[in-house]
Amino acid sequence: MRTNNIKEQKEITVMIKFFADLRQYGPDKEELCLPEGSKVQNILEKYNIPLSKKNIIILINGMPHKEAKDIVKDGDVIAIFPPIAGG
Return the sign of the alpha-carbon dihedral for residues 43, 46, 52, 53. Answer: negative
How high is the pLDDT of residue 67? 81
Give the burial class of 56: count Cβ atoms within 10 A of its Cβ; 0-12 exposed, 13-18 middle, 19 or more buried: middle
Range of the domain at 56: 11-81
Residue 5 lies inside a defined structural domain of this protein = no
Q: In the chain, how many domains are there?
A: 1
Residue 62 lies inside a defined structural domain of this protein = yes
Measured CA to CA, the distance from residue 75 to residue 87 in angstroms comes to: 35
User: Residue 31 maps to which CATH number?
Assistant: 3.10.20.30
Per-residue pLDDT 10s for the chain (87 aa) are 555 555 677 999 999 999 998 999 988 999 999 999 999 999 999 999 876 666 888 999 999 987 888 999 999 999 999 887 655
Measured CA to CA, the distance from residue 16 to residue 58 in angstroms comes to: 10
Residue 1 lies inside a defined structural domain of this protein = no
